[in-house]
Every structure is written in C-alpha cells, then in structure tokens.
Amino acid sequence: MTGVTKIINGNSGKCNGHCKSVENGNCQRKDSTHEENYTYEMIQQTANYLSQRVPFEPKIGIICGSGLGSLAQQLKQPIEFPYSTIPNFPVSTVEGHAGKLIFGFLSNVPVVCMQGRFHFYEGYPLWKCAMPVRVMKLMGVCQLIATNAAGGLHKNYKVGDIMLVKDHINMMGFAGNNPLQGPNEERFGPRFPPMNKAYDKELIQRGIEIGKELGLKDNIHTGVYTCLGGPNFETVAELRALKMLGCDAVGMSTVHEVITARHCDMNVLAFSLITNECILEYDSQSEPNHEEVMDAAKMREELLQKFVAKIIDYINKSRLTQNS
C-alpha cells in the first residue's frame, strides 16, 4: 500500500496474508483492488467522530452529483467537515465535487449532505466509494437521496431534464465488480440483498408531481440509469448497446451507493439531471465534455434546490414524523 492509502484508510499497511508480494510484512502492491475493506469498527469510529461533533441526528442523506454541490448551500445551521479531516474518509479529486460533508437543516429536517462523491475512476474500489453511505446509516440516516449528472440516452430527454431513477442496470456488476464484494458484514445487511425494489415508488410519484408543480411539464421523467466505470465518455457503439439494453441515462456513479444503501435497509430516491445528449450518430460533430456537464448543472441549480427541499418536506410530513 502507498503511504497515502495508509493515512486515508487508517490501516497499518500490513498485509493480511493473501498478498503474494509481501516484504517484511508490508504489502508492496499498489493497486486499489488489493486494499483491505473497512471493518465495521472503522465505520463506527468515523460515525462516532462525526456524532460527537454534530448536536443532532441526521435523518436524510443527500449525495450531490457533479456540479450539484449547491444543493448543500441551502442547509441551515451548517456544520462542515472537509473529507480530509474525517477519520477513514476518502477524498474527492473531481472538479465540481467540493469534498465536504455538511450537516444542517433542510425544510426543518436534520440532514447530512455529501458535497462531492467518490467514483471508481478516481482509483477507489467501489466499497470505498460507497463507504459514506454506511457512515450515514450508523449516524441514524434512514433515507438516501442520491443525485447525479448523466447523459440522456432516451430520445425524449433534453439537457436540463430530470429523470427520477426507477431502476438501474449495474454494468460494473455484470463485469464482476460490486461494492458488497468480500466477506459480508451482517450488522449492515444480508449476504444476498434483493434489488428489485431498490427505488421507492411513492417518492418517485411524488417527485414527478413536484417537478410538474415547479413547471417542468414534459421535462421530468422516470427511467433506467446505468453506471459505467469511466472516466472516458462512451463510444457510439457502447451507447447504442446501452440503449438496446433499456438504459435511459448513463453516468459513472450512484449505483454502488444505492446498492450499499439498500443492503443496510435505507430507503432510496435517486435522480439524474440530464446534462448532455448522448451522441448516437457517427457523423455528429459534437463531443461530450465535463464543462458542459457543469454548465448544465449550474443552469438548473435553483430549480434543483427547490425540488430537493420540497421532496424533503414531503418525506418529513409523510414518514419521519410518523416514525418518531
């Protein structure tokens, strides 16, 4: 392991025995897949560190997609933790992902917001990308709202549209990569969690209504999201194949977070902001880029803030108060 990994992971750097390239007990391999997964106790340590510094228990966790960090700026009484200061936490390396965990109140509900997420292409294994979801769970979060920027594959989708995720296709899982790989930690959830009811139907329905109330009319949809490993945008042939498979939007995140959240029995709502058209024709002159993704996110900043606030208000009135 590299020195950097040791600091991030809080590990000793000692290999637990399955590594063939061990010198003096220190693992010499540099690939991220070789890292030891977090133990339950490490996640607990992170959750305790935060709980001791935050005077309320967050109920809803929000993950901000690329360029969507302003969702966190509307939090009242914010308490911020740069990821680099949180024990065991990874750090964000992508433009448009500030790298802060922010606690506060939104629509009078205690929430925690990830202003920046972790992606596989940054070099993190999927379990590490999704680790903050488990920290949220141990802090008391029962509802996840995962947001992302995505390319629109469906022919009716336009830049600026919102797609509420009704299902996903775990392409990385097809290739044998999953955040739940490795020994199962029963204290989080079962070895073989179901995934056919991953996305809360009632919240999707309410999300559509809220979108319409906010004037979205034909610009709000329900659809199927898929995550590829990135960081390159897709080829024409890849996009055509994904379309044939039934994908409506494509990105490089969210699926591993949702799987981890469902494993530990969190309720999930996810939505994509369509930030660019997927290019399905060989003679197109356009090329996708991260700047257009960020620009589209900026353009929808205010609307998305209202959208999320209204959804949280609904969750609060319909569920959180009933359970307390």
Residues with a known catalytic role: 66, 97, 119, 121-122, 149, 252-253, 276, 290
Least distance (Å) from ligand R1P to the CB of residue 27? 29
* 293 contributes a contact to ligand HPA by CB under 6 A: yes
Least distance (Å) from ligand R1P to the CB of residue 115? 11
Q: What is the dihedral of CA 186, 177, 4, 7, to 10 degrees?
A: -10
CA terminus-to-terminus distance, the chain? 45
Q: How far apart are CA 236 and CA 282, in angstroms?
A: 7
* 66 contributes a contact to ligand R1P by CB under 6 A: yes
* 298 contributes a contact to ligand R1P by CB under 6 A: no
The interface mask with ligand HPA, positions 266-285, x = CB under 6 A, is ---------xx-x-------
Q: Which residues face 277 on adjacent strands?
A: 152
Secondary structure (H, E, C), the chain: CCHHHHHHHCCCCECCCCCCCEECCEECCCCHHHCCCCCHHHHHHHHHHHHCCCCCCCCEEEECCCCCHHHHHHCEEEEEEEHHHCCCCCCCCCCCCCCEEEEEEECCEEEEEEECCCCHHHCCCHHHHCHHHHHHHHHCCCEEEEEEEEEECCCCCCCCCEEEEEEEECHHHHCCCCCCCCCCCCCCCCCCCCCCCCCCHHHHHHHHHHHHHCCCHHHEEEEEEEECCCCCCCCHHHHHHHHHHCCCEEECCCHHHHHHHHHCCCEEEEEEEEEEECCCCCCCCCCCCHHHHHHHHHHCHHHHHHHHHHHHHHHHHHHHHHHC
The interface mask with ligand HPA, positions 142-171, x = CB under 6 A, is -------xxx--------------------
- 154 marked ligand binding residue: no
Q: How far apart are CA 188 and CA 45, in angstroms?
A: 15
Q: Which does 278 bind (CB under 5 to 8 A by kind): ligand HPA, ligand R1P, none?
A: ligand HPA
Q: Which residues in the 228-267 window bind ligand R1P by CB under 6 A?
A: 230, 251-253
Cβ proximity to ligand HPA: between 211 and 251 the closer is 251
Cβ proximity to ligand HPA: between 1 and 149 the closer is 149
Closest residue to ligand R1P, based on beta-carbon distance:
65
Q: Which does 119 bind (CB under 5 to 8 A by kind): ligand HPA, ligand R1P, none?
A: ligand R1P
* 149 contributes a contact to ligand R1P by CB under 6 A: yes
Least distance (Å) from ligand HPA to the CB of residue 298? 14
Q: Which does 203 bind (CB under 5 to 8 A by kind): ligand HPA, ligand R1P, none?
A: none
* 297 contributes a contact to ligand HPA by CB under 6 A: no
Cβ proximity to ligand R1P: between 65 and 125 the closer is 65
Residues in contact with ligand R1P by CB under 6 A are 65-66, 94, 117, 119, 148-149, 230, 251-253, 290, 293
Positions that interact with ligand HPA (CB under 6 A)? 149-151, 233-234, 250-252, 275-276, 278, 288, 293
Q: What residues are designated binding site?
A: 66, 97, 117-119, 149, 234, 253, 276
